[in-house]
Structure 1
Amino acid sequence: MPPLPKTRAPKRRRVINCVTQLPYKMQLGESNDDWKISATTGNNALFSSLEYLQFDSTEYEQHVVGWTGEITRTERNLFTREAKEKPQDLDDDPLYLTKEQINGLTTTLQDHMKSDKEAKTDTTQTAPVTNNVHPVWLLRKNQSRWRNYAEKVIWPTFHYILNPSNEGEQEKNWWYDYVKFNEAYAQKIGEVYRKGDIIWIHDYYLLLLPQLLRMKFNDESIIIGYFHHAPWPSNEYFRCLPRRKQILDGLVGANRICFQNESFSRHFVSSCKSLLDATAKKSKNSSNSDQYQVSVYGGDVLVDSLPIGVNTTQILKDAFTNDIDSKVLSIKQAYQNKKIIIGRDRLDSVRGVVQKLRAFETFLAMYPEWRDQVVLIQVSSPTANRNSPQTIRLEQQVNELVNSINSEYGNLNFSPVQHTILDPGRCILSLLRVQTYVKSQCRDGMIHCFGYVTVNRTCRLLCYGNPLILSEFSGSSNVLKDAIVVNPWDSVAVAKSINMALKLDKEEKSNLESKLWKEVPTIQDWTNKFLSSLKEQASSNDDMERKMTPALNRPVLLENYKQAKRRLFLFDYDGTLTPIVKDPAAAIPSARLYTILQKLCADPHNQIWIISGRDQKFLNKWLGGKLPQLGLSAEHGCFMKDVSCQDWVNLTEKVDMSWQVRVNEVMEEFTTRTPGSFIERKKVALTWHYRRTVPELGEFHAKEL
């Protein structure tokens, strides 16, 4: 019997994952050939997703594109032979590396990722490992320059912090570096991309990248997904950004834009409507969440939400070890017969550490029976800019609050608040295995509390089913709907919630924990759902409706313009030559527009046409009378005036216009029902305007009309 033919493994879909920074810290020794690579902390959920795609997914072949981060140097102590980071200023070290050195480090990164996975698991990975790390090298002096605009302008605004404007030379330099950062990613992706690849972009460092890629690749079928891990502010805050339109222009180059919850996606759509004059159709997706089909620049963008998850399997594996067990036991022995409340936050202004301490102080004042019976262990992790004046003031305020509470409600043997600043690490896992967890963010994304719910589901050391008190301003409050949700600014309400949580009996805790556990999303499910949605877009039958129009590539346009011997320009008027305004009569040409059109008309190789819905009278008054060299098309082509000609041609002269009477009656009825709307009557066209109406009412009646 002849041997059976070998079956080929199904071809995996390539995914190019674009992250702000690779999950490694890289250090150079005294020479540029001496490298030290170590894992770094950061967005653990995102890193878990990268790990899942790399080692466990049989459906996708992942390629990770990311910045190396700031590369430091180490020096060796002559007496202890230990390496330590050089205290020298990185601004003085340009870190010039040869191509061979960069290739060598890339290979080292590949090997490090493989060995790192082998160290974490005892099982053989199900997916074949490919050389898939593609570092973005930005080796210039002052490597931290690439973070300035993202961290000092975008991040505060996205978290509802309005800092004094830095508009001027400094912010212009920050913006220039931000653009170059995104362009470096586009160049690297250009080296990796193959037709049919899915490109997945993450977070606010790369807001311009979707449009840059759409301009770079002449591929109408390219699929670009963007996931925003941070909050997205309401339009009233977002519009405060000086370069708000450029940011939106960059993002709408994606096929799908996804947020942590529905409110963030709704804010984004509102910004697109306000600043890009986009329209949006709301519907429900397969998860029964709101999704929007945003029409902008001649194409459609899908905007929705998908809460990120956690790697529950890995969390449980790391949380229940002999080392963690001993730490948990030590904490419980140190506070025997006391209720333990945990807070774990980064020490910045949006995490609500101050609000949490004030609420705990109010709790002790309102409920004296809990004094000496409850301890709050607040673990704060330092921020990247720990030495900034804002962070220093915040740390001082926190320390003053801690000292005030301990002096008022503590004694020589007991302090009700234990506050420590630690780098995030495995010690956090032991703190997750205690009795009540409080998150009091003023504005934040997701996931930290998911780990607490996961650990408590399987906890085996006297902490079964412990309650979670969660800020309503946390992104996860919309996911963990059965948590005890509070307003962190209302200290009395938070104090009452703490009292209620501490008084829950075992059955109540168990019921609460069971509900919360069902609501925790996993990182595997989140990854697969996002990519499946992009695949559906790529293979949908209505591709023609979803094709995106890339932003104008100005350098290419200029080059083609110089080479062409005959040039035809076709310009729309409203929204192109003049901005969209609520009153159509106010959309008149500017002096700058006249100057530009005069220069274009002066070139005998150019022919310029204005194609508009405006009537003959308006176009003659503002354009034809001043620039007779222009060709004009009024009322969407019903009337034409050729270049350098005074006479208009009526193309509808023989068309029956009796329809206008009935259409006008219908429009008048809708005008009566929609305050702020009006009818613009022209020779042929009738236009119903609703820009001055309540947006939702105007859109509803426009759809009905």
Structure 2
Amino acid sequence: MSSTSAPDPSSPTHELVVVANRLPVDSHTLPDGATEWVTSPGGLVTAMESVMRTVDSGAWVGWAGAPGEPPAPFEADGMSLYPVRLDQQDVERYYEGFSNATLWPLYHDVIVDPEFHRTWWDAYLGANRRFAEAAAPVTAPGGTVWVHDYQLQLVPLMIREKRTDVRIGFFNHIPFPSVELFSQLPKRNSILRGLLGADLLGFQRESDSLNFVAAVRKLLGYHVEGMTISVPGLGAAPVREVEVRTFPISIDSAAVSALAEDPQIRERAVQLRHDLGDPEKVVLGVDRLDYTKGIRHRLKAWGELLDDGLIDPHDTVMIQVATPSRERVDAYKQLRDEVELTVGRINGEHAPLGRPAVSYQHHSFDRRDMTALYMAADVVLVTALRDGMNLVAKEYVASRPDLRGVLVLSEFAGAADELRAAVLVNPHDIDELKSAILRALAMPAEEQEEAMRSLRHQVMENDVQNWAHDFLERLEQTGRLEGSSAPVVRLTGDAPSQAADVDRALQEFAELPRLLIASDFDGVLAPIVSERDAVHPDSKALGALRELAEMPGIAVALVSGRALANLDAHTRMPSSVVLVGSHGAEVGALPPWMQAEVLDQSALAMTPEKEELLASITTTLRRISRAHPGTEVETKPTAAVLHTRNARGRGGINATESALEYAVTLPDVTVTPGKEVVEFSVVHTSKGVAVDALARASAADAWLYLGDDVTDESVFAEAGERDLTLKVGGGDTAAGLRIADTDAVREVLQRLLALRQQRG
């Protein structure tokens, strides 16, 4: 797979987007210094290649494998690839740290002790956000996003918060632990909520699915019916149903079986046995060098069989392939030392001259050599202590069209649920493991053939392509499109739009007869400050708005999250400028020419029940605030607001998490997370609703809106063809154009004023 051109900018979105920790390609430097991208080996890549051929446009979001600045998006074999940036610190804390030293051991039954570090969680959170930010804007409207594995468990919810119009699936390739073990994980509820952003959650084994559902029921208290979880929305947002199902992954069975028929590979298998001294029996273990794979248990059993004289090293040789893995992590360094010491002891005590008792291979083999090894082996030992699936077992079966060979398989590997004709074993019981090895070595040809025929039927009929298609078909049935309440992303990143594009849009807008010009306040007309009452709006920007408000055919409004009285105090605008506070819940005085009856005041009425509810919310938010120094609670006529801008350390993140957990218990409240703020409103409205009403009340031909916050996206989403939307600052947005800061806002308003004056 070689890189070609960048994705066509005229087709920036894709029907299916796969999100995984790594891209499906590895970079190779050619002799002339150029970079070539070559397809990575692996079952997921194989599965997705077949799926991508069935969609009009497919994309893959992942890390390119090297820390630092990522390559630009490019295409390979008809798939658009979007590299995600990971710095060296991300690699150490997000990948080696939280993913592989916290989650991996915890999810594998705490075979080694997991480490918990808060800085690792911070890196995990940040990296997951980066993957989500890369995936959300490149997914087509109504498209599908498929997120993979434990490194990205927060991504489903992060994408859903940006794109409620897409279907989201998540597949966990490793085990999911019992609720007792999972409960040890700091930020456990954040992980569960992140996963529940998906429409469909897939696991390898039925026990994994049941463990997840039990964790949701116990730790989040959500309603569960069978394998369907009812996920409450924030406040008044509707309940979603998330389905949990089991999808055991497989391999490209036909391709592996075809390799076994290759004459060169058959010859290589014969040569391998000859190189080992033509023993009567060859026993093979193939694993990543990982403490979950049971390599130490296997070697212990093998050593004892040699010690007991039950295996003659002149007649039987063991090959142990231990592919290098995570060699920077201390637990893996220790494991390698132990394995190599054990192999050395066994060979020192039992190896005949010129032949090992254990042939230890600490390196990778390509697919052809691996198939030859499988064909040369009379017995393959898969003794994982805990494994999501273990594809070595399936690869061995697919490599034996001759119906010979014996698979010894741990009952703690996911493959044991399907490959029932294998010799199943508890690898923790060394005596049982020794007996299983002896049974396998002595198994008659007829019994081998009967078992292998059953195993091959299972593996050949259920390949990785079927796995992928089964998952996506189920997701198609499960994903319930909600009618996007979150706007479709039009702009990503931080770079401002070209000045010429902004000016051209202003010129076209200024030519329309009747206009509404509306703007947010904080972060737009006034720079963000830590003390809300110390805010200093740009006097020239306010002056331009005042002048515009006095011109015929123009209505001007300030639409803010601040309470109406507070907004009035800080702007001192004339009555010709409409003030809208509390995200649309409070509307100030209207000019006499504006059609007041268009504004639906009935929705703004506070009842005694709403007053009581607001008081209860305020009390709870103050309790959360007291637990996180630096946070504070603001009260408004129709809302209570938790501000976290001045929180200390991780207090802001933790307070926000507590507030959002509380939010799902309030079915009659509108909850709006913003920039370091969460607002709880007992009146159901939004800035988008307010601007739409103002546009109708002023009979505007088009409107312009300037905003910088998440709460402004509800306005941007309402924009029609002639409306002009400007995002102030960075971040994904539904706005049509982006400007840099409050200085740029002043320039836009002054330019619009000049254009309107020229028009006369």
TM-score (structure 1 length as normaliser): 0.65
Where does residue 442 of structure 1 map in the other structure? 385
Aligned length: 511
How far apart in 1 are the matches of 2:205 and 2:613?
Answer: 37
What is the Cα deviation at residue 274 of structure 1? 1.8
Q: Which residue of 2 aligns with 1:230?
A: 174
Residue 14 of structure 2 contacts residue 139 of structure 2 at CA under 8 Å; is this kept in 1?
no
| Aligned residue number for residue 38 of structure 2 | 38
Deviations 1:341-392 (CA, angstroms, capped at 9, x unpaired) = 1100111211111000111223334563655322111111011x32443323
Of residues 92, 101, 108, the one that matches 1:152 is 101
Aligned match of 1:50: 48
What displacement does 1:259 show?
Answer: 0.3
Alignment pair present for 1:20 and 2:18: no
Instruction: State the alpha-carbon separation in 2 of the partners of residues 354 and 576 from structure 1.
Output: 56
Q: Quick one: distance in 1 between partners of 2:611 and 2:57?
A: 44
Aligned to 1:399: 340
* Bigger mean CA deviation after superposition, 389-398 or 442-451: 389-398
| Residues 212 and 264 of structure 1: CA distance in aligned 2, closer, same or farther (over 3 Å) | same
Q: Which residue number in structure 1 is paired with residue 153 of structure 2?
A: 207
Instruction: Give the equivalent residue in structure 2 for 1:259.
Output: 203
* Higher RCO, Cα 8 Å, sep 6+: 2
Map residues 346-361 of structure 1 onto 2, 5 A cutoff. Answer: 346-361=288-303
Q: Which residue of 1 aligns with 2:327?
A: 386
C-alpha distance in structure 1 between counterparts of 2:308 and 2:214, whole Å: 42
Cα deviation per residue 1:130-189 (whole Å; 9 max; x = unaligned)? Answer: 4x3232241645563452422222222212337667555xx42x3233222222222222
1:324 & 1:376 partners in 2: Cα distance?
20
> Shift of the alpha carbon at 1:241?
1.5
CA deviations 1:35-76 (Å, max 9, x no partner) are 2433444xx110111211234x3x6642222222216xxxxx
2:272 is aligned with what amino acid? Answer: I
- The question of whether the paired residues in 1 share the 8 Å contact of 2:107 and 2:182 is answered with yes
* Aligned residue in 2 for 1:82: none
Q: Does 1:468 align with 2:407?
A: yes
Shift of 1:237: 1.6
Deviations 1:225-252 (A, max 9, x none): 1000111111122122211111111110
Contact 2:18/2:145 (<8 A) preserved: yes
Match status 1:499 vs 2:438: yes
1:243 aligns with 2:183: no
Alpha carbon RMSD of aligned pairs, Å?
3.9
Tell me if 1:606 matches 2:606. Answer: no
Question: What is the TM-score of this pair, normalised by structure 2?
Answer: 0.60
Can you give the 5+ residue segments of structure 1 that lack an aligned partner in the other structure? 1-11, 72-93, 115-129, 283-290, 551-555, 580-587, 610-633, 637-642, 644-705
Structure-2 residue corresponding to 1:616: none
Aligned mates of 1:510, 1:195 — CA distance in 2? 52
Q: Is 2:415 the counterpart of 1:415?
A: no
Residue 561 of structure 2 is aligned to residue 561 of structure 1: yes
CA–CA separation in structure 1 for the residues paired with 2:23 and 2:285: 28
Partner of 2:63: 67
Matched, 1:592 2:626: yes
Residues 465, 217 of structure 1: CA spacing in aligned structure 2 closer, same or farther, 3 A cutoff? same
* Residues 548/308 of structure 1: CA separation in 2 closer, same or farther (3 Å cut): farther
User: In 1, Cα distance between the equivalents of 2:617 and 2:404?
Assistant: 60
Separation in 2, partners of 1:577, 1:435: 70
2:82 alignment partner in structure 1: 135
Distance 1:597 1:154, change over 3 A: closer
Structure 2 residue corresponding to 1:272, chosen from 206, 216, 219: 216
Q: CA deviation at 1:576?
A: 8.6
Q: 1:515 to 1:472 in 2, by over 3 A?
A: same
3-state SS in 1 of match to 2:272: helix
Partner residue, 2:127: 181
Shift of 1:213: 1.0
Structure-1 separation of matches of 2:150 and 2:479? 25
Q: Is residue 136–residue 184 contact of structure 1 (8 Å, CA) maintained in 2?
A: no
When residues 596 and 511 of structure 1 are mapped into structure 2, their CA distance, relative to the original with a 3 A threshold, is same
Separation in structure 1 between the aligned mates of residue 388 and residue 144 of structure 2, nearest angstrom: 25
Q: CA deviation at 1:577?
A: 8.9
> What runs of 5+ residues in structure 2 fail to find an aligned partner?
1-12, 234-238, 487-519, 524-559, 563-579, 587-605, 642-665, 669-681, 683-760
Determine the C-alpha separation between the residues in 2 that align with 1:594 and 1:489.
46
Question: Cα gap change, 1:538/1:236 in structure 2, threshold over 3 Å: closer, same or farther?
Answer: closer
Structure 1 residue 593: Cα displacement: 8.4
- What is the CA-CA distance between 1:327 and the residue it aligns to? 2.0
Residue identity over aligned pairs, in percent, reads: 24
Separation in 1 of the partners of 2:230 and 2:209? 11
TM superposition shift of 1:292: 4.0
State how far apart, in whole Å, the 2-side matches of 1:450 and 1:576 are.
55
Once residues 187 and 122 of structure 2 are traced to their aligned partners in structure 1, the CA distance between those partners, rounded to angstroms, is 12
Mapped contact 1:202–1:229 kept (Cα < 8 A): yes
2-side partners of 1:468 and 1:246: how far apart?
A: 40
